[in-house]
């Protein structure tokens, strides 16, 4: 690694090895060579006599033998990266020098290789996303019955459970799995289409034989591992493909940000914490601090991921006619960074969910501070059943509630409403019922049942197809936290 020039932290600091390789020069240019080999092999199969067995064998032998110095010198001279690598490949495979790239335009290798890298990138992300879903589902099930104070506007609201809250996160992650999987399934190959997408150059190569041109497109598409290619393109495949894929990744970024933000809020309340290692330092000045640095990193990187889709909107909207080149430099940055960032976020979420810590006693204490106010309606109903007057009961409990609230807000004391009710002669008929009326589990509604039903009816079926990936999980060495 060079220390005298900028290096993206996405690859130097955070990303998994497999995703960093997927967008590396080695992957890119060896894929170009494979595409040239696939094209030449198919052209030879369909009868082009200038392509010899020796040329094919030399191309096969030099798919990864890339002389970057020769390529750089050639690109500096020709100002064209594709032609520089055509020349460099020809130097390595001289018998093929005259037929490499025959009939093709630059987008044959650039666009098709990008589709391959996006496909392979999605194949890296999807199993990781399935694993993150599975881990959070396990957490939700484990804590489905643990009551916790719900918040609306980050103000105390009715109770929910820790597991039910986790299902709110899980539901969004499940939607991301659906969206990203759909984007993967919809990917098609550009294939061999020529300079403006008319296949005119290939029609000339095969002396006007339309069926051979169609066969060539099919053979090259099959060799690249795609089930189908676009039937119509300009010089490029439609840039709405990039928009489609990055929209799904960007949407996942929003999910990751929301989850990490919630965890940061809960860490402030000391109810839930992300993993904190024995020798980890939270602050260089404040030794006692346990900052939620993983969740903060998720939020930081998620914001970056969410912004990248804007580039694909602009690029898709500004492609002139059959093509314009103002997409090229932008896409070299936007597409790899979206995949790298999504990959990092998944590794971070996996690490967080693997070791998330819940503090039931802190949660219980917060419930105890708020529950007396929430229980007032139940207490009124119990008094009515015991023969009390509804309006009189309401006034008695209103006065006691205001007294207790004043102690909490003005003196910083604990909520003593229940003690006041116990000491009140008026409420003596129901004193024996107070403990059951204040049981937090009676305030969580169907939260536990909702968790079970959600896991059984939506999560488990959605993850069924990823069982092999789930058994492998995410490698620990790929989690740079």
Are 368 and 380 contacting, i.e. CB atoms less than 8 angstroms apart? no
Please identify which of the residues 7, 12, 283, 436 carries the catalytic annotation.
Answer: 283
SS3 string, the chain, reads: CCCCCCCCHHHHHHCCHHHHHHCCHHHHHHHHHHHHHHHHHHHHHCCCCCCCHHHHHHHHHCCCCCCHHHHHHHHHHHCCHHHHHHHHHHHHCHHHCCCCCCCCCHHHHHHHHHHHHHHHHHHHHHHHHHHHHHHHHHHHHHCCCCEEEEEECCEEEEEEEHHHHHHHHHHHHHHHHHHHHHHHHHCCECCCCCCCCCCHHHHHHCCCCHHHHHHHHHHHHHHCCCCCECCCCCCCCCCHHHHHHHHHHHHHHHHHHHHHHHHHHHHHCCCEECCCCCCCCCCCCCCCCCCCHHHHHHHHHHHHHHHHHHHHHHHHHCCCCCCCHHHHHHHHHHHHHHHHHHHHHHHHHHHHHHHCEECHHHHHHHHHHHHHHHCHHHHHHHHHHCCCCHHHHHHHHHHHHHHHHHHHHHHCCCCCHHHHHHHCCCCHHHHHHHHHHCCHHHHCCCHHHHHHHHHHHHHHHHHHHHHHHHHHCCCHHHCCC
Q: CA-to-CA distance for 407 and 401, rounded, in angstroms?
A: 10
Distance of CA 377 to the CA centre of its chain: 43
Residue from 183, 202, 241, 234 nearest 101 by CA: 202
Backbone angles phi, psi at 345, to 5 degrees: -60, -40
Question: What gap in Å lies between CA 134 and CA 465, rounded to an integer?
Answer: 12
Beta bridge pairs of residue 189: 229
Q: Of 2, 153, 284, 471, which residue is the catalytic one?
A: 153
394 is catalytic: no
Biggest CA pair distance of the chain: 106
Determine contact, residues 263/353, Cβ cutoff 8 Å: no
> Are the C-beta atoms of 121 and 144 separated by less than 8 Å?
no
- Concerning whether 153 is annotated as a catalytic residue, the answer is yes
> Which residues have a catalytic role annotated?
153, 283
């Amino acid at each position: 690694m060079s220390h005298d020039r900028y290096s993206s932290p996405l690859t130097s600091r955070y990303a998994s090895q497999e995703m960093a390789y997927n967008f590396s020069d080695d992957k890119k240019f060896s894929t170009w060579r494979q595409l040239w080999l696939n094209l030449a092999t198919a052209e030879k199969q369909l009868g082009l006599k200038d392509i010899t067995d020796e040329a094919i064998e030399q191309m096969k032998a030099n798919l990864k033998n890339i002389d970057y110095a020769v390529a750089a010198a050639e690109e500096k001279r020709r100002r064209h990266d594709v032609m520089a690598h055509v020349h460099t490949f020809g130097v390595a495979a001289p018998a093929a020098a005259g037929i490499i790239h025959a009939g093709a335009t630059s987008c044959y290798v650039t666009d098709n290789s990008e589709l391959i890298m996006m496909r392979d990138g999605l194949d890296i992300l999807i199993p990781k996303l399935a694993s993150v879903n599975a881990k959070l589902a396990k957490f939700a099930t484990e804590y489905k019955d643990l009551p916790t104070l719900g918040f609306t506007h980050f103000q105390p609201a009715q109770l929910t459970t820790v597991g039910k809250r986790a299902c709110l996160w899980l539901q969004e992650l499940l939607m991301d799995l659906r969206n990203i999987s759909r984007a993967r399934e919809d990917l098609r190959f550009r294939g061999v289409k020529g300079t403006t997408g008319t296949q005119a150059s290939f029609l000339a190569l095969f002396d006007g034989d339309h069926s051979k041109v169609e066969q060539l497109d099919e053979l090259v598409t099959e060799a690249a591992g795609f089930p189908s290619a676009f039937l119509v393109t300009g010089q490029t495949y439609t840039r709405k493909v990039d928009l489609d894929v990055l929209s799904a990744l960007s949407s996942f970024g929003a999910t990751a940000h929301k989850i990490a933000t919630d965890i940061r809020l809960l860490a402030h309340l000391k109810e839930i914490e992300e993993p904190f290692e024995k020798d980890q330092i939270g602050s260089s000045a404040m030794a006692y601090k346990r900052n939620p640095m993983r969740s903060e990193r998720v939020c930081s990187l998620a914001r970056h991921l969410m912004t990248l889709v804007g580039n694909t909107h602009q690029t898709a909207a500004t492609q002139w006619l059959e093509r314009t080149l103002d997409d090229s430099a932008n896409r070299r940055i936007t597409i790899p960074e979206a995949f790298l960032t999504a990959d990092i976020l998944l590794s971070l979420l996996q690490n967080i969910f693997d070791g998330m810590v819940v503090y039931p006693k802190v949660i219980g204490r917060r419930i105890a501070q708020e529950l007396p106010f929430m229980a007032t309606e139940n207490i009124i109903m119990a008094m009515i059943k015991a023969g009390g007057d509804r309006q009189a009961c309401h006034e008695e409990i209103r006065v006691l509630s205001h007294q207790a609230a004043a102690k909490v807000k003005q003196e910083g004391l604990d909520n003593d409403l229940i003690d006041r009710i116990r000491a009140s002669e008026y409420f003596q008929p129901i004193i024996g019922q107070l403990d059951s009326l204040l049981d937090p589990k009676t305030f969580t509604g169907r939260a536990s049942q909702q968790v079970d039903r959600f896991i059984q009816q939506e999560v488990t079926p959605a993850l069924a197809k990823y069982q092999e990936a789930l058994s492998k999980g995410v490698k620990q060495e790929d989690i740079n936290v």
